Structure 1
């Protein structure tokens, strides 16, 4: 397919997303099934165009003064891809399979309009109802912070120190242009271009042998800040597919007791194979059965309970750009209740002198600092470990890292703009001895 034909295909997919109200992944899959002539490179390029439109949906419609799929695509080509009006016109020439030529109004908009005077939710590409929440945490920087959350994320990997060494894996993945991540000493990063396909990491020998796992650098750092140590009893309360469970296991060096569970047993399905491949032998996966509590035998004995809390996922918008436009206020209320339940459950599991590591991939204050303040109000035997103290478990870049984060009395927040990671909030809560 020509670049122009790919634009036409992207417009077609966006029309399907709008009219059928389906997730982007579903619409792209259905388009690919109906157009089997398109090669893998074509499908990757079309996918990149569609997701970039979703990333820049509001701002693209603003500069074009129109919200039609074609208008948003044209605006995105200017804002996200950096093409000028002439370059866009060359692609939209009306030839076979190409979009129709630019109208006078479209060309004028591409030449003259910007987002300089746009409201924050337009310039930052997020739903207007979230503006107050983002203003609470970012203030006048909210448009810039949200815009950074709209850019395409790199592919980050974590080296599993139970089976490999970072410097060796870095050498073996040079063909993927892997580099060390800025903060995590265990992280590797593969930067992806606009039309790039995700590399076949799962086919790499390092992955097959358990030496690497796909994990955003921010998620790696969140696990590290928990301070899990060899010999401790550690509970991963919302383990899901096991990403942070694996990170905790490596921190514990195979010594101690690691328990992984989740309220939703379906989320736990991949964890067994992942633990086996990673060479983890001290993990006990407890799958809930009916109304029975899989942790009923544990009372105030854990050194650490890690809560990778169910949340709105606002910190992962750059990976799931269509999710932000489907998000509703009701979803936030549901997640807040889930977080309260998890925190209160964890409080009963931690021994005196132990700690809770509360983590969200959200940037919204109600899920982060406000949730921690309310927890402390309910559980006066807990105090917040100052972010500088929690981060001291990291490495020689602690001061530089802290300067890049947003810090509060309740914890610290990483963002794509400040730390180059997904948005993660971390609070370490210490139970009085």
Structure 2
């Protein structure tokens, strides 16, 4: 397929997303199923262009004076990929499998593109109804924070200390141009191609043998701040597919016991194979069994309960850009209720003197500091651990510069170059 055909396909996918309100991933899958002539490389390029258009949908629409799929693709090519209007016109020929040439209005919009006078939610590429939420956290810098969330995300890997160290991983992945991440001592960052795609690292021997796992640096930092130690009893209360479970297990060096639990058994399915590949031997997976309490034997026994709470994912918009446009106020209220339930459910497992670590991949205070404050009102036997103290305990004192309030950390693409993560460490009296 030609670049023009990729652009035409991206327009078709964006049309399907708008008409069916389908997630981008599903719309791309459906397009591929009905266009089987497209190879894996073609599908990847179409997906990359589609996501580029969605990341900056609001600012592209402002500059193009239109929010149509065609305008979004034209804007992504011009504003994200830096193509001139003449370069775009060279492939937008109107021939078979190519979009129609740019109109005079489209040429003028690209040539005179400007965000002067645009409101914060347009400059930051996020839904207008979230402007107040982000203003509460970032104030006058919310547009800049939003714009960083609308950029392409890097490809980060975590070195599994059970299988080797970072030097070993750097050597094995040197052909990919892998470099050490600036904040996580276990992180690697692999460069993306010019169209935003990463190499197939899951096919690399280093991944197949469990030396590295795909994990954003911010997610790595959240796990490291928890400071799981050898010999401890650790519960990952919202384990999901187990990315942070494996990170915590590696910190424990095979000693002690880590329990993985999630209220949805389907989310945990990949963890079994992932744990085997990673060489984790001290893991127990507790799956839901109807009304049975499968964690009752752990009540008041855990040194550490790690809660990676269900959230809106407002810190991961770089990777899931369509999620921000599909998000509705009602979804935030549902997540807040789930977060309160997770905190209460995990707290009963923490022993006297033990730690409760609350994490979200959100930047909204309604899901973060306000949930912790409400929990502390309900449970006065817990108290915040000051962020500098938690950073020192994790062996990463430099992370204290990301403190947000007395006992919280807040990471974001603009501040830390990572996905957006909130982390709070609490200790039971």
Which TM class, normalised by the smaller chain length? Answer: over 0.9
TM-score (norm 2): 0.97
Equivalent-residue separation in structure 1 for 2:167 and 2:231 (angstroms): 27
Distance 2:58 2:136 in 1: 21
* CA distance in structure 1 between the aligned counterparts of 2:82 and 2:395, rounded to whole angstroms: 38
Deviations 1:23-65 (A, max 9, x none): 1112212222222222222221111111111111111111111
Q: 1:422 aligns with which of 407, 419, 422?
A: 419
1:411 and 2:405 matched: no
CA contact (8 A) 1:44 1:196 kept: no
| TM-superposed deviation, 1:367 | 0.6
Q: Which runs of 4+ in 1 moved over 4 A?
A: none
State the SS of the aligned residue for 1:311: coil
2:191, 2:198 within 8 Å by CA — same for their partners in 1? no
- What is the distance in 2 between the residues matched to 1:288 and 1:38? 41
Where 1:79 maps in the other structure, the secondary structure is: helix
Residue deviations 1:184-224 (CA, integer Å, cap 9, x gap): 11111112134354422222222222111111111111011
Cα distance between partner residues in 2 of 1:224 and 1:393: 10
Quote the offset at 1:81 in angstroms: 1.4
Which residue in 1 is equivalent to 2:428? Answer: 431
Residue 23 of structure 2: aligned partner: 23
Question: Which shows bigger deviation, 411-420 or 5-14?
Answer: 5-14
Counterpart for residue 109 of structure 2: 109
Instruction: Please give the alpha-carbon distance, in whole angstroms, between the structure 2 residues aligned to 1:193 and 1:115.
Output: 27
| Alignment of 1:402 onto 2:400 | yes
* Whole-Å separation in 2 of the counterparts to 1:26 and 1:341: 30
Counterparts of residues 34-433 of structure 1 (less than 5 Å): 34-395=34-395, 398-399=397-398, 401-403=399-401, 405=402, 407-432=404-429
Deviations 1:52-84 (A, max 9, x none): 111111111111111111111112222211223
Q: 1:391 to 1:104 in 2, by over 3 A?
A: same
C-alpha distance in 1, partners of 2:426/2:294? 23
> Mind listing any 5+ residue stretches in structure 1 that lack a counterpart?
none
Q: Would you say the 8 A contact 1:306–1:358 is kept in 2?
A: yes
SS in structure 1 opposite 2:188? Answer: strand
Q: CA RMSD in A?
A: 1.5
- Contact persistence 2:152–2:196 (CA under 8 A): no
**1:265-317 CA-partner distances (Å, limit 9, x unpaired):** 11111111111111111111111100111111122121110001011111111
- Whole-angstrom distance in 1 between the partners of 2:109 and 2:303: 59
Task: Normalising by structure 1, report the TM-score.
Answer: 0.96
**1:334-393, CA deviations, whole angstroms, 9 ceiling, x for partnerless residues?**
111111111112221111111101000000001101111111111111111111111113
Query: Secondary structure at 2:315's aligned position in 1?
Result: helix
Where 1:372 maps in the other structure, the secondary structure is: helix
Shift of 1:237: 0.6
Structure 2: gaps of 5 or more residues: none
CA distance in 1, matches of 2:6, 2:275: 40
Q: Is the 2:235–2:260 Cα contact (8 Å) retained in structure 1?
A: yes
Aligned residues: 429
Give the conservation status (yes or no) of the 8 Å contact 2:315–2:412.
Answer: yes
Contact 1:373 / 1:410 at 8 angstroms: preserved in 2? no
2: CA distance between counterparts of 1:18 and 1:379?
Answer: 45
Question: 1:245 & 1:101 partners in 2: Cα distance?
Answer: 51
- In the TM superposition, residue 161 of structure 1 has moved relative to its aligned partner by 0.7
Any conservation in 2 of the 1:238–1:261 contact (CA below 8 Å)? Answer: yes
Shift of 1:91: 3.1
| More divergent stretch after superposition (188-197 vs 342-351) | 188-197
Cα distance per residue 1:387-412 (max 9 Å; x no partner): 1111113446x33x433x35112401
